[in-house]
Amino acid sequence: MTSSTKVEEYITDSLLRQDRMPHIWCPGCGIGPAVGCFIRAIESSGLDQDKIALISGIGCTGRVAGYVKLDSFHTTHGRALPFAMGLGLGNPELNVVVFSGDGDLIAIGGNHLIHTARRNVDMTVICLNNFNYGMTGGQMGPTTPLNARSNTSPYGNIEYPFNVPYLVAASGATYVARWTMLHARQLEWSIAEALTKPGFSFIEVLGPCPTLYGRMNKMARGMDSLNYYKENSVVRNGADPKDVDLTSDGPIVVGKFVDIERPTFWEQCQLVIDRAQAKKD
């Protein structure tokens, strides 16, 4: 028997803006479970919710900022990372989280991504990769796998995509992981770990886009994409990010690839302040 009773104290509902539900994402979209994992990760890591700021860019995933009951900001296209960096430096007590899509973080914001990772700014970046530009109609982007079809590559994509964990790890990120939306428990633990780790933490979440990318690639139902993830994903913690690129027929390597320690940008700022003051005295 289906019941429509609402439970206000429920974990995910306690951090969602109830008045904005149901959300606009398509049936079977991968963003919803990723947001659920993020909310449960906040609960399980025991962080103060008033000290978490969530920044989003533009796109389907960019809507997350409007749906969570946290301090959040919806920035212009691709500029979520510079905004988050300024916010984190202005108030170092804040735990800054960037939740955005591949089109926002890797395509238009690609330059910001590599430079924020290079400086090792203290933030957590959750990048939901659905392999295309979902909100604008399913155009191909820099993460569309080779030979995959999209609305602007109907005969197959001829461009080589980015290997995102490799790009971010090479730029200097201290925590790099990749999970699919189906690895919900691992994703939750991974987000909780990244939230409490200082430095630039990057988690790539693969999520289905049944309406646009899936429809063009014979995965028109969300279930087809999830079955594809289930059959092809291989957990390989500590794998070299060089070997984890996504192809349209190869395995999907998931896991935690990089977990190292490096001085953060804020610590380096303190160093230069100390140096300048020592010279003045």
Q: Which residues bind other proteins (CB under 8 A)?
A: 1-7, 10, 12-13, 16, 21-23, 25-33, 36-37, 40, 182, 184-185, 188, 221-223, 226
Residue 9: CB minimum distance to other proteins, A: 10
Residue 189: CB minimum distance to other proteins, A: 12
* C-alpha atoms less than 13 angstroms from C-alpha of 196 in its C-beta half-sphere: 13
What is the distance between the alpha carbons of residues 15 and 8, in angstroms, rounded to a whole number? 10
Comparison of 38 and 133: residue with beta carbon closer to other proteins: 38
Task: Evaluate whether 160 touches 146 at the Cβ level (below 8 Å).
Answer: yes
Residue 184: CB minimum distance to other proteins, A: 5
Peptide bond into 22 cis (omega under 30): yes
CA-nearest of 132, 178, 135, 136 to 157 is: 132
Residue 68: CB minimum distance to other proteins, A: 11
Comparison of 161 and 222: residue with beta carbon closer to other proteins: 222
Residue 129, phi-psi category: left (phi > 0), alpha (psi -120 to 50), beta (remainder): beta
Comparison of 40 and 112: residue with beta carbon closer to other proteins: 40
Comparison of 30 and 145: residue with beta carbon closer to other proteins: 30
What is the distance between the alpha carbons of residues 31 and 67, in angstroms, rounded to a whole number? 12
